[in-house]
Structure 1
Amino acid sequence: MSTSKDASVVSHAPKPGEPVLSVSNLGVEFWVGDRWAAAAKHVTYDLMPGKVLAIVGESGSGKSTSSMAIMGLLPKNARVTGSAKLSGRELINAPIESLRKVRGEGISAIFQEPMTALNPVYTIGFQIAETVLTHRSNMTRKLAKARAIELLGLVEMPDPEKAYNSYPHQLSGGQRQRAMIAQSIALDPRVLVADEPTTALDVTVQAEILDLLRNLHQKLDSAIILITHDMGVVADMADDVMVMKDGAVVEHATATDLFAAPSHPYTQALMASVPHLGLGEATSDVHGIREDSTAALHLENVSIEYPKRGRVPAFLAVSEASLSIQPGEVMGLVGESGSGKTTIARAVVGLVAPKEGTLRVAGQDMIGVDAKQLRAVRRKIGIVFQDPGSSLNPRWPVGESIGEPLELAGRDRKEISKRVEDLLDLVELPRDFRNRYPHELSGGQRQRIGIARALALDPVVLVADEPTSALDVSVQARVLELLQNIQKEKQFATLFVTHDLAVVDLLADRIAVMQHGKIVEQGSKEQILRNPQNDYTKRLIAAVPVPDPAEQRERRLARAALLGRTAS
């Protein structure tokens, strides 16, 4: 089904050879306190019809800010200079009514987190239909509903009519992202701005969304601005790559040239920081999952059930899971959201009780453990959380957060003060950082504080739950290297929970793969990543994008063959 466009509100289509979007000397500043602070400066590029331009860089590089400036989506304390022409039509400082007519039809956005971008009190179908009705004067509600269902089918949503009547919270993360993509393409835009569209998704869902974007891009001939810090996604999708640092463009090249020979030192450092599946050192499976009194952490046939709550029935989250981790060993626990890996981590630290099986942490049986025993064993467990910002008390200096486990353990003030300094040394932060507050630190620095706090009591077992997923690639590399060095020095056992197989390849000795609450395969990382036996493990590995366009093309073809379909 097609809909006619109101030509009076949309700029003309570009002539052959002309860019659909031409950005020249774009600058963005924010009024901070008593001065203007530059967030982007002298950004210049041309986006050709049907092409994908990836804009990459770390947090604060200006990649999202410069793109949102084009659409007029910055806060009131921002000012924008320069030019951005959509098929010859100037967007910078254009009247708001003019921009509203262009948004959605000339240029549209796909945001990082669909749960916050979609309105939770309206159904998916209503939100998509509303987009069409707002921009199409000749559209009836019946036609808008038909168009919304058509769009949900176009983005390969399972059961589009059911999804039309669903609320955002009733859909999975991947389905919500599909719904937001359907809304963004409702008016057949000539430019799509995709701002970290797959960062919050599991690797297999990410691969599906990238396939979807690639297919839609070809069907609609839309140009795409892809904002990301994932170089594997860049290799998978981009025709051209623009690298930004501190608000400025430091390199602009074709994807093939940039990956083959990055010229700017910052780009080279960025590329060197990217974990690459297949580059981890080989290990042998020396411990297996046998019963062993020396194991720091041992699970045998553990099942974990969440009890019935109100109308919500009881749910078996983990079924007959067995694994064992020795001192000095890193076990990577991988799987998609809902696979049960975080539930196992929660059981290890005593936050949920196993329904059956054997679970021992540092020699303590966790089945039927009383409060006193639980307090004692928790002193032997360290936890590093996914989001260091929300896991640190914003009202405390970070030195107090690091010292809190020691205070609860009854250590005296002098001992705590000395230990906090030693821990800051261990995580390679200046000692005077103890007086800073979390908001005064970067994401990587906050995660280092989180690691220092987790190691305060010299744990026997460290549980790391997605500790680097929220970090930029270069910061992630530094935190992982730090964690590796500390782990080798202190020889604690580590349960590393993640969905990033490239990180696991770098860090882990052994890997356990979870699906639907079961451990479906485990062994040395050499066995799991280089010679997987389980079909789910094979699909998981095939879905990981690698930072090499040629290799990624081959992997995409292999993944399509594995799934029994044709690669685009």
Structure 2
Amino acid sequence: MSTSKEARGASHAPQEGGPVLSVKNLGVEFWVGDRWAAAAKHVSYDLMPGKVLAIVGESGSGKSTSSMAIMGLLPKNARVTGSARLAGRELVGAPIEQLRKVRGEGISAIFQEPMTALNPVYTIGFQISETLLTHRSKMTRKLAKERAIELLRLVEMPDPTKAYNSYPHQLSGGQRQRAMIAQSIALDPRVLVADEPTTALDVTVQAEILDLLRNLHQKLDSAIILITHDMGVVADMADDVMVMKDGAVVEHATAAKIFTEPEHPYTKALMGAVPHLGLGEAGHEIAVDRNEETAALYLKDVSIDYPKRGRVPAFRAVECASLAIMPGEVTGLVGESGSGKTTIARAVVGLVPTAEGMLRVAGQDMVGVDAKELRAVRRKIGIVFQDPGSSLNPRWPVGESIGEPLELAGRGRKDISKRVEDLLDLVELPRDFRNRYPHELSGGQRQRIGIARALALDPTVLVADEPTSALDVSVQARVLELLQQIQKEKQFATLFVTHDLAVVDLLADRIAVMQHGKIVEQGSKEQILRNPQNDYTKRLISAVPVPDPVEQKQRRAARAALLGRTAS
């Protein structure tokens, strides 16, 4: 594969020593109703060849909008002002034919969710080949296929030939992301725009994709714009960091300076809100006999099967899992997608039956439980879901959503009204929020409503399934702090299901690690995170990026040694 600067074409070469992309006073506005609303304003930066610029900020900060504007990938109700020059060529206001030539060849994008970015009705190979054939008039289909397989090999795809002939749904999330990266680098672009490229991935897959991007970046000498809210990823990859808030750049400096000496109050607040693996306080493990009589939640040798559905054969999702959570204790259940952790959570609340073993929740045996007993025990279980937006009825005021469990439990209207107000106080929201609808609230406010509803009946056990993964980092920090505060006050047992080990370090007393349906290791937080014994646990912990460039470089080297590789 040609990676030389000459191979890119003289028209794409920046002036010697100059930036490959120069953005000056870029502004983006959207026509909303009867007016123009600013989404980004006065954005300026220079991206040097071979460098990684991370653009960070919370939802709505303008980081993705300003980057997509450069490529002309905004909807028709948008207008862009200012200048964006790629190797001296102006992109703002350029004709669509010129932008189509630039996309892929001069600047290319890696999107957050490959399943939606890749066409589901075409094979991976066809889609990569089409990119090559569209931009390379002299390339034959045979040469395009050879090049596509070479690209899949370059992105370290397992069995590139098989992947070439596969459809997107036949690949795992990490493999789909590799395929999209292969397509994005097919034309040797000078600039890669990576928009949250690892957000939807498990932590170990994320680490592999970041290693891949770093290696490709060095091989191709491409500059990268990395759009993310994950400061651990920033510490792992970035040379420079640009912080955005409400559409404006509030700080721009080297990564080292942003992490050690942030100047703007917003940057300081953002850095302070980031959970950092290894800095969590000691847990409060309750030292008692962990048996079915004393535990609020008790599993002994539990196995869970999913029955055959259509062409999908029956399979065992959880096998011989044992776990005990005491009243007032928080246990983090961690593992990658498909490990079985959510299946255990579903069994705890009675949504899937257990095939073998013992499962007791708040003193009730859940094996073979009848409908009447299940209704009774569910009054002792609170559930906080991952996506607060989809878990609340959009047609109901949030006060009705909070009060629904109380109504189903037979409480009177006056009692319900008072309890709803008390719960809003508990989650630190104004009482008049009871009359608002979910779409009128922010993500963090909706999640507080979800917590209030889960606590309506004073549960003995709270099941929290990825309750903060959909939230911005500062909102996540406030919700976690609130959850900690309420848990200490109410002393319910908590099963906290997550893939984020930094959050577990902040919140949990004990941790159980799942892999392929089995709990492979469990113990106190200090034991699991500081002195893991299982090889999988070690790999899981080593893959977590931390928001400190110096420490992250050391962790990357340690992980490479653990995997028997050379650190990049």
Q: For the residues of structure 2 that align with 1:346 and 1:265, how far apart are their CA atoms?
A: 42
> 1:276-355 maps to which residues of 2 (within 5 A)?
276-283=276-283, 285-287=285-287, 290-355=290-355
Question: In structure 2, what residue type is equivalent to 1:537?
Answer: T
In 2, the alpha carbon distance for the partners of 1:419 and 1:134 equals 63
- Residues 1:163 and 2:163 aligned together: yes
**One-letter amino acid matched to 1:312:** V
Mapped pair 1:52 → 2:45: no
Q: Does 1:119 align with 2:130?
A: no
**Structure 1 residues 348 and 267, CA, compared in 2 at 3 Å: closer, same or farther?**
same
Whether contact under 8 Å (1:5, 1:136) holds in the other structure is no
Which residue does the alignment assign to 2:434? 434
Map 1:34-433 → 2, pairs under 5 A? 34-283=34-283, 285-287=285-287, 290-433=290-433
Tell me how far 1:128 sits from its aligned partner: 0.9
Q: 2:497 matched to 1:497?
A: yes
1:509 aligned partner, one-letter code: D
Shift of 1:21: 0.2
Q: Is the 8 A contact 1:339 1:516 kept in 2?
A: yes
**Partners of 1:200 and 1:190 in 2: how far apart?**
26
User: Equivalent residues in 2 for 1:442-453 (5 A)?
Assistant: 442-453=442-453
**Shift, 1:285, TM fit:** 4.3
- Measure the CA separation in 2 of the matches of 1:124 and 1:396: 43
* Cα offset, 1:15, TM superposition: 2.3
Displacement of 1:6 after TM fit?
12
- Give the whole-Å Cα distance in 2 for the aligned partners of 1:412 and 1:480: 32
Indicate how the Cα distance of structure 1 residues 49 and 431 shifts in structure 2: closer, same or farther if over 3 A, else same.
same
Name 1:510's counterpart in structure 2: 510
Give the whole-Å Cα distance in 2 for the aligned partners of 1:181 and 1:420: 49
- Cα drift, residue 327 of structure 1: 0.8
Distance 2:195 2:98 in 1: 23
Q: Secondary structure at the match of 1:198?
A: coil
Q: 1:28: Cα distance to partner? A: 0.6
Decide whether the 8 Å contact of 2:382 with 2:454 is kept in 1.
yes
SS of residue in 2 equivalent to 1:557: helix
Per the normalisation by structure 1, the TM-score is 0.98
Q: Provide closer, same or farther for how the CA distance between residues 173 and 287 of structure 1 changes in structure 2, counting only shifts above 3 A.
A: farther
- 1:7 deviates by 9.3
Question: Structure 1 residues 288 and 142 mapped into 2: Cα distance closer, same or farther (>3 Å)?
Answer: farther
What residue identity is the alignment partner of 1:17? G
Distance in 1 between residues matched to 2:6 and 2:77, nearest whole Å: 33
Kept after mapping to 2: 8 A contact 1:6/1:136? no
Letter in 2 for 1:452: A
- Give distance in 2, aligned partners of 1:51 and 1:5: 15
Q: CA separation of 1:173/1:340 partners in 2, compared to 1, >3 Å: closer, same or farther?
A: same
Aligned length in residues: 568
Could you report, residue by residue, the CA deviation over 1:102-139 in whole angstroms, capped at 9, with x for unpaired residues? Answer: 00110000011111111111111111111111111011
Equivalent pair of 2:317/2:343 in contact (CA under 8 Å): yes
Q: Which residue number in structure 1 is paired with residue 461 of structure 2?
A: 461
How far apart in 1 are the matches of 2:396 and 2:184?
42
Q: Which runs of 5+ in 2 are unaligned?
A: none
Asked whether the equivalents of residues 304 and 316 of structure 2 are also in contact (C-alpha less than 8 Å), the reply is: yes
Output the amino acid matched with 2:278.
Answer: G
Residues 42 and 248, structure 1, Cα contact 8 Å, conserved in 2: yes
Residue 311 of structure 1: CA displacement?
2.5
SS of 1:311's equivalent in the other structure is coil
Q: Retained in 2: the 8 A contact 1:194–1:225?
A: yes
User: What is the Cα deviation at residue 393 of structure 1?
Assistant: 1.3
The CA deviation string for residues 422-444 of structure 1, in whole angstroms up to 9 with x for no partner, is: 11111111111111111111111
The one-letter amino acid of 1:529's match is: L
Deviation at 1:325, TM superposition (A): 0.4
SS at match of 1:233: helix
- State the match for 1:562 in structure 2: 562
In the alignment, the residues of structure 1 paired with residue 55 and residue 386 of structure 2 have an alpha-carbon distance, to the nearest angstrom, of 25
Aligned CA distance change for structure 1 residues 289 and 79 (closer, same or farther; 3 Å): farther
Q: 1:431 to 1:398 in 2, by over 3 A?
A: same
| Offset, 1:549 | 0.4
- 8 Å CA contact 1:275, 1:502 repeated in 2: yes
Tell me the distance in 1 between the aligned counterparts of 2:434 and 2:285: 41
For 1:296 and 1:53, how far apart are their aligned partners in 2? 48
Give the Cα–Cα distance (whole angstroms) in 2 for the partners of residues 357 and 535 of structure 1. 27
Q: Is the 8 A contact 1:403 1:420 kept in 2?
A: yes
Preserved CA contact (<8 Å) 2:307 2:315: yes
Change (3 A) 1:231 1:354: same
Letter paired with 2:147:
R
TM-score w.r.t. structure 2 length? 0.98
C-alpha displacement of 1:16: 2.1
Q: Deviation per CA, 1:342-369: give whole Å up to 9, x if none.
A: 0000000001101000000000000000
Asked if structure 2 preserves the Cα contact closer than 8 Å seen for 1:10 and 1:102, the reply is no
TM-superposed CA distance for 1:288, in Å, is: 7.3
Asked if 2 retains the 8 angstrom alpha-carbon contact of 1:288 and 1:523, the reply is no
Q: Is the Cα contact below 8 Å between 1:55 and 1:241 reproduced in 2?
A: yes
Q: Which runs of 5+ in 1 are unaligned?
A: none
* Preserved CA contact (<8 Å) 2:286 2:329: no
Assess if the C-alpha contact under 8 Å between 2:513 and 2:521 holds in 1: yes
- Structure 1 contact 403–416 (Cα < 8 Å) conserved: yes
Query: 8 Å contact 2:204–2:544 — kept in the other structure?
Result: yes
- Measure the CA separation in 1 of the matches of 2:161 and 2:438: 46
Whole-angstrom CA distance in 2 between matches of 1:229 and 1:288: 41
Residues 470-491 of structure 1: CA deviation (Å, up to 9, x unaligned): 1111010000000000101111
Q: Distance in 2 between matches of 1:69 and 1:120?
A: 26
2:397–2:437 Cα contact (<8 Å) kept: yes
Q: How big is each residue's C-alpha offset from its partner over 1:391-415, in whole Å with a ceiling of 9 and x where there is no partner? A: 1111211111111111111222221
Q: Give secondary structure in 2 for the equivalent of 1:36.
A: strand
Aligned counterparts of 2:239 and 2:5: Cα–Cα separation in 1: 29
Deviations 1:216-259 (CA, angstroms, capped at 9, x unpaired): 00011000000001000000000000000111101000001111
Distance 2:321 2:176 in 1: 31
Deviation at 1:281, TM superposition (A): 1.1
3-state SS, counterpart of residue 456 of structure 1 = coil
Say whether the 8 Å CA contact 1:107–1:193 is kept in structure 2.
Answer: yes
Q: 1:226 to 1:520 in 2, by over 3 A?
A: same
Rounded Cα–Cα distance in structure 1 between residues aligned with 2:369 and 2:389: 31
Contact 1:49–1:223 (CA under 8 A) maintained in structure 2: yes
Once the two structures are overlaid, the 10-residue window that deviates more, 391-400 or 231-240, is 391-400
SS of residue matched to 1:354? coil
Q: Is residue 550 of structure 2 the alignment partner of residue 550 of structure 1?
A: yes
Question: Is contact 2:3–2:220 with CA below 8 Å preserved after alignment?
Answer: no
In structure 2, what is the equivalent of residue 21 of structure 1? 21
Query: 2:204 and 2:495 mapped to 1: Cα distance?
Result: 22
**C-alpha distance in structure 2 between counterparts of 1:424 and 1:125, whole Å:** 53
**Contact between 2:192 and 2:223, CA under 8 Å: does it hold in 1?**
yes
- SS state at 2:12 partner: coil
Letter in 1 for 2:155: V
CA offset at residue 4 of structure 1? 11
What are the superposed Cα offsets for residues 313-349 of structure 1, whole Å, 9 maximum, x if unpaired? 2111101000000111000000000100000000000
Per the TM alignment, residue 305 of structure 1 is displaced from its structure 2 partner at its CA by 0.8
